[in-house]
Amino acid sequence: MYINKVISYGDAWNQLIARSVVYESLVSAIETLTIEKIRQTEIQGFLKNNGKLELQQKMQLCFTKALEVSEWEDCSNLNLSKNSHWSYRHKLGYILNRISASLYFRRESLNRWLFTATPLAYREGVIDIPIALMPLKECSDALFGQSNGFPSEFERNAKDLKAIAPLSHGAPFLILGVSLEASNIELCELPSEKSRADQRIVINRAIEFPPEYHQAGLGILSYFGTILREKYPNENAKVRIEQDGDTVRMIVESETGNRDIIERALYDYELIVRGEASPEILLDTKLQILELKAELRIAQARIENKNEILQHKNQEIETLKQLIGHAFTQKSAPIIHVTASPVITLSNHSEQSNQTAVITRELEDISESIQYLASLTQTEPELELRLRDLEDATQELLSRSDDKNEIKNSSGLRKIRDVITEANETGSALANLFEKASDGLVCLQGIARKYNSIASWCGAPTVPEVFLGKSN
């Protein structure tokens, strides 16, 4: 197979090509994928003799084996810190030199990779560029059967991402469309909100004001926005003021990006504020000129008022120093006795951290089991929707795995218990689903055991032991 189409964000495609070792390794792994090789691959377990899902699993296995040959590492084996969000590891696929690659067939799974797993992994410094592969339409049709003219999952994802662009996504990413025939690569670079905002910024100035000038300076800078709106209404300029201690930053954005006009207006404004020019050089009407003069008088009054306050504070500080000095020089100064009764509380942080890690692993296992079950429900949309909702709820539990009360009172834990209970009711849709899976009973008992482990930890109701089967 070959890369035919690329969706890139954050200049990820150019970054990947620049890292030639990883790029060439990935391309080589993709080119090992052929229809014959995929169909001849043997798999075991749940998905054997399961049509389309079996072929998807075979393609997944072929791809991961090709990556392993090139020394890519399984992300599930990453040694992360105890404070990391472990739940994202299995969604990243394989990793080489901080670039991950995984294969996806469904939009829902890709969206969880894109909007949950990759931002977490990027923020925690695990990856620089996450990559997802998806078969294009002609490839999917050849492997899994005709799609009756419907666009492939790749095309649908591309359409969705273009519709919501520019993106505010915090991490670069790549989605590669692969096909059976080589062709010129079609690149789509998605714009970001940050780059659009940067293009609109025409002035970015930082000024550090002494305390007595701080409030007056803020007023003067803010009023520049009024000047721009009145003098150049067609520029649609916006003035944003940011404060950090004594430092004030003025950022001017213009939809037209006309830097010359804005900078000229700011230069004239500075001359007026310093008293080196009159307001008439910048403003046209008598009312505008009077309003600016009034603003300058207000600024001067703020400076004078602040100076008086600072002088008063300095006098109070000097008086306080004298009082303290006098107290230290008194020969009969009273002795002050202070009795401290410290209360020391010991907590076994290490034991708590270990227990949290266990609960996290239990939730990860439940999540993976639910993902597998959801993959068996493509002909039952209502049941699939329920399981996908349960999967999302389990992922939400993972983000709170260190808080007993949050877990105990969560709707996600109740949903897991309800699924276990219903699956043990003969004739229910869930019971039929577990019966259909080749190891369905084992899967259900595993979920039940892990649920009871979590419930016992946080104090939630457990399910009857008859649901658990024999522990491995």
User: Among 140-144, 364-368, 381-385, whose mean pLDDT is lowest?
Assistant: 381-385
Asked whether residue 180 falls in the same domain as residue 210, the answer is: no
Strands of the sheet with 173-179, listed across from one edge: 73-74, 94-96, 99-103, 129-135, 173-179, 2-9, 186-190
Amino acid at 186: E
For the record, the structure tokens of 98 come out as 């901080």
Asked whether residue 185 falls in the same domain as residue 200, the answer is: no
Asked whether residue 35 falls in the same domain as residue 170, the answer is: yes
Task: Categorize the per-residue pLDDT at 301 as very low, low, confident or very high, splitting at 50, 70 and 90.
Answer: confident
* pLDDT average, residue stretch 369-373: 80
Helices (H) and strands (E) in the chain, counts: 19, 10
Domain contains 342: no
Domain interval for residue 428? 351-467
Asked whether residue 266 falls in the same domain as residue 185, the answer is: no
pLDDT at 16 over 60: yes
The DSSP letter of residue 234 is G
pLDDT of residue 331: 43
Residues with Cβ within 8 Å of residue 226, at least 6 apart in sequence: 291
Domain contains 339: no
Asked whether residue 261 falls in the same domain as residue 296, the answer is: yes
pLDDT in tens, 38-94: 888 887 654 455 567 788 888 989 999 999 998 999 887 777 655 555 556 677 889
pTM of the model: 0.48
pLDDT at 123 over 50: yes
Asked whether residue 286 falls in the same domain as residue 263, the answer is: yes
Domain contains 319: no
Domain contains 337: no
pLDDT of residue 138: 87
User: Among 228-242, 302-316, 364-378, whose mean pLDDT is lowest?
Assistant: 302-316
Asked whether residue 58 falls in the same domain as residue 149, the answer is: yes
Asked whether residue 374 falls in the same domain as residue 250, the answer is: no
One DSSP character per residue, 156-205 reads HHHHHHHHHPSB--SS-EEEEEEESS----EEEEE-BHHHHHHHHEEEEE
Question: According to the per-residue pLDDT averaged within each range, which of 155-159, 310-314, 350-354 is highest?
Answer: 155-159
pLDDT of residue 103: 92
Asked whether residue 175 falls in the same domain as residue 242, the answer is: no
Task: Categorize the per-residue pLDDT at 312 as very low, low, confident or very high, splitting at 50, 70 and 90.
Answer: low
- Could you tell me the CATH number of the domain that includes residue 80? 3.40.91.20
pLDDT of residue 179: 93
Domain contains 343: no
152-159 long-range contacts, CB within 8 A, separation 24+? 152/177, 153/104, 153/105, 153/106, 153/107, 153/110, 154/5, 156/107, 157/7, 157/107, 157/110, 158/5, 158/7, 158/188
The number of domains in the chain is 3
pLDDT of residue 363: 85
Asked whether residue 105 falls in the same domain as residue 173, the answer is: yes
β partners of residue 240: 251
Asked whether residue 51 falls in the same domain as residue 129, the answer is: yes
pLDDT at 189 over 80: yes
Q: Which of 129, 127, 151 is nearest to 138 (CA)?
A: 151
Domain contains 396: yes
For the record, the structure tokens of 452 come out as 């009871």
pLDDT of residue 101: 94
Q: Which of 58, 136, 66 is nearest to 96 (CA)?
A: 66
Q: Which of 306, 330, 362 is at the close of a domain? A: 306
